[in-house]
Amino acid sequence: MAYRVDCAHSGLTGHSVIHSVIHSPTGYPYRSICVWIAALVIVWLVLCSPWSLGWNVFVSVLVLLGVAAAIVVATRRGIARVGATHHVLLKIDGALSGLPADIKRNTPLVLVVGTSSTVVASAFGNQAIRVTETAIWVRVTDPSRLAHFADSLKRWRGGQGPDAVAYLIDADAANDQATLTGSLRRWRSAIDEAGRAVGYPMPVCVAVYANELHPTADDCPWFGTSGTSSVETMALPELISARLTQYAGMAIPEVREARARRAARLDIATSWAVAAVLPALSDNQRSTRAVQVHSFGVIAVEGQPASDSLLARYGFERTGLALPTNKSGIADSNIRYPLPDPLIRGIALQQAHRALPRALAHGFIALVALFCAAAAASAWQNRNLVERVNNDMSRYRAIPASMDAARVDALNAVKRDRDQLSRYASGSVPPRLGLGFYRAAPLLPLANTLIASYQPPEPPASMIELNSLSLFNSGSAVLNPGSNRVLVGALELIKEHASKRVLIAGHTDSIGDPRSNQSLSEARAGSVRDWLADASGISPTRFAIQGYGDTRPKASNETEAGRAANRRVEITLVPDCRDDRKNGTPPEGHEGNVACSFN
């Protein structure tokens, strides 16, 4: 029993069908998943990325562009899917409008394809769908639209996709093996793509039609097998041959000969299909999975066999007999091929495959991937932080105390590390170092201890004070013969700081004429200068003398001890201001120093 399809009975308009299919909650939310993944990636870049700001911005732009492109592609595919299938959905709704509401799920839905448009047209006539007592049959003639049909019908059925694909083969219409194999492989690729679109491999029913010139008085049944698992291809000829033998043997004498001819032709058609058709559907290729043939059957239909068909040539090679054929090689155009209802009964109905749980699972997997990436980035950055701080402290410890400038530079690096660790210790560990991987806290007290242990080097002696009585006789500016031992210490200091200038200042007590005291102090400073210049080999221009007389006492002149302390010669080392003038900066702490007025 077949139902005639009339679109006028449908209660849905084309716009409402399109809207319901596009916005069906059973469809996979590609756009939402893309936005979710992009948001996770950007969160990772902002909070956890170890890369520089420029790289983070660059990757963020790439992610946003990729998401925008994916949304555009998904939207276009949805529009293309609806545009290719909405008229079929209208007709299905019209055909099922008077049937129970659960007919969508309880009745098998089968997509019908074929090796040629002729065989499919012979099974459907002018109709796009046929509804029989066994199944709802949907006609598809373009391999590129099969996935659209499968996805749209899955949405229309509330997540339950098509139950099978029926592949109709007109054995008498195939006359070139290369053309047949190419068609089979195109449909196999389309079936594989449709399976990916609905989320499961779609079972395939292969139905082979063979024309017979003198049919028997009874209708020909289907001979084949059907089940929930893939058929054993190599066992098909023997299985179907046994059933054909039983079919011919049970005939009454009047039709036994006709049935025997039919059985022989169907037996050859089965062997030919197993040799020429099924391998092209079941062989594995890199880009396409083999289809799962759950049902296979052959049937004889009234018509004239083609003399140049692959089936005719195969039968002649097998038996040596040439059956009566149509001399024109063209099958009758008015042949009506029956749909393989019996072969579909053994295929199980598909369960509803709702996309929302799968989308939620994918979203959760993306979240887990984000956490793993964040943990890996945190562990890597924590390791680098600990390694850097340890290296800075080790570098400071390795520098000897004599190289104070290098030690100060290394100590400054340790101080910067200490400041950074102090901020983290206050509770502001950034996410890129968090997630339980922060391991630099024990380094903070070590850095503080190291910083506190720094001791600047003692400043070199910059002045030597000599007692005048140890160098000169009273009232004399001539060095005593034994004064060399006293001046040796000053000589060593001057040699250690050969780059500095030497200021020699003479002082007296207040006894005597101030003018005489001034001259005496200058003369004594000059005598010391001359001896030091000769002994050190340093140019006299690096020495300066100054006499202060009794103008700068360091103790009271009222006592003998005070006056003895005031009779002295001071040797002072000062930076050479001429070198500083070359650099454009005066020596710090020596502004106005008399050494800077040396010629």
pLDDT tens for 166-181 read: 999 999 988 999 999 9
Task: Answer with the residue of higher pLDDT: 592 or 408.
Answer: 408
The burial of 583, by beta-carbon neighbours within 10 Å (0-12 exposed, 13-18 middle, 19 or more buried), is given as exposed
pLDDT of residue 333: 54
CA distances from 414 to 405, 421, 432 (A): 14, 10, 22
CA distance 57 to 61: 6
pLDDT of residue 459: 66
pLDDT of residue 20: 45
pLDDT of residue 285: 63
Question: Helix, strand or coil for residue 249?
Answer: helix
Checking if the pLDDT of 592 tops 60, the result is no
Task: Kindly state the tokens that stand for 408.
Answer: 């100060």
Q: Between β-strands 223-226 and 292-302, what pairing exists: parallel, antiparallel or unpaired?
A: antiparallel
Going by pLDDT thresholds of 50, 70 and 90, the confidence category of residue 364 is very high
- Mean pLDDT check: name the lowest of 158-162, 204-208, 283-287, 365-369: 283-287
DSSP letters for 123-192: HHTT-SEEEESS-EEEE---GGGHHHHHHHHHHHTTS---SEEEEEEETTT---HHHHHHHHHHHHHHHH
CA distance 122 to 150: 22
Maximum CA extent, the chain: 170
Which pTM value belongs to this model? 0.61
pLDDT of residue 23: 45
- Candidates 118, 85, 59, 104; CA nearest to 197 is 85
The H or E element spanning position 420 is helix 404-425
What percentage of the chain exceeds 90 in pLDDT?
40
Tell me the per-residue pLDDT of 321-333, one tens digit each, with 9 for 90 and over.
Answer: 665 555 444 445 5
Q: Which of the listed ranges 213-217, 395-399, 577-581 does the model predict with the highest average pLDDT? A: 395-399
Task: Answer with the residue of higher pLDDT: 21 or 513.
Answer: 513
- Candidates 262, 166, 258, 261; CA nearest to 208 is 166
Distance of CA 464 to the CA centre of its chain: 73
Q: Which residues neighbour 324 within 8 Å (Cβ) at sequence distance 6 or greater?
A: 213, 214, 305
Checking if the pLDDT of 152 tops 70, the result is yes
Checking if the pLDDT of 5 tops 50, the result is no
Fold held by 463-597: 60s Ribosomal Protein L30; Chain: A; (3.30.1330)
Tell me the per-residue pLDDT of 269-308, one tens digit each, with 9 for 90 and over.
Answer: 999 999 999 998 887 666 677 889 999 999 999 888 888 8
**Across residues 153-167, what is the average pLDDT?**
89
pLDDT of residue 87: 76
Tokens 């639209």 locate to 145
Checking if the pLDDT of 556 tops 80, the result is yes
- Contact between 243 and 235 under an 8 Å Cβ cutoff? The reply is no
CA distance 419 to 425: 10
- Candidates 224, 213, 237; CA nearest to 301 is 213
Tell me the per-residue pLDDT of 35-85, one tens digit each, with 9 for 90 and over.
Answer: 999 999 999 999 999 999 999 999 999 999 999 999 998 888 878 877 777
pLDDT of residue 365: 96
Checking if the pLDDT of 591 tops 50, the result is no
pLDDT of residue 64: 94
Q: What number of other Cβ atoms are within 10 A of residue 74's Cβ?
A: 16
Checking if the pLDDT of 567 tops 90, the result is no
Going by pLDDT thresholds of 50, 70 and 90, the confidence category of residue 562 is confident
pLDDT of residue 461: 57
What percentage of the chain exceeds 70 in pLDDT?
86
Going by pLDDT thresholds of 50, 70 and 90, the confidence category of residue 112 is very high
- Contact between 137 and 166 under an 8 Å Cβ cutoff? The reply is yes
pLDDT of residue 251: 80
Q: Which of the listed ranges 202-211, 461-470, 530-539 does the model predict with the highest average pLDDT? A: 202-211
CA distances from 197 to 8, 135, 548 (A): 31, 22, 106
Q: Between β-strands 164-170 and 203-212, what pairing exists: parallel, antiparallel or unpaired?
A: parallel
Question: Helix, strand or coil for residue 213?
Answer: coil
The burial of 316, by beta-carbon neighbours within 10 Å (0-12 exposed, 13-18 middle, 19 or more buried), is given as middle
Mean pLDDT estimate for the chain: 83
Checking if the pLDDT of 4 tops 50, the result is no
pLDDT of residue 322: 66
Question: Helix, strand or coil for residue 16?
Answer: helix
Question: Helix, strand or coil for residue 512?
Answer: coil
Checking if the pLDDT of 355 tops 80, the result is no
pLDDT of residue 179: 92
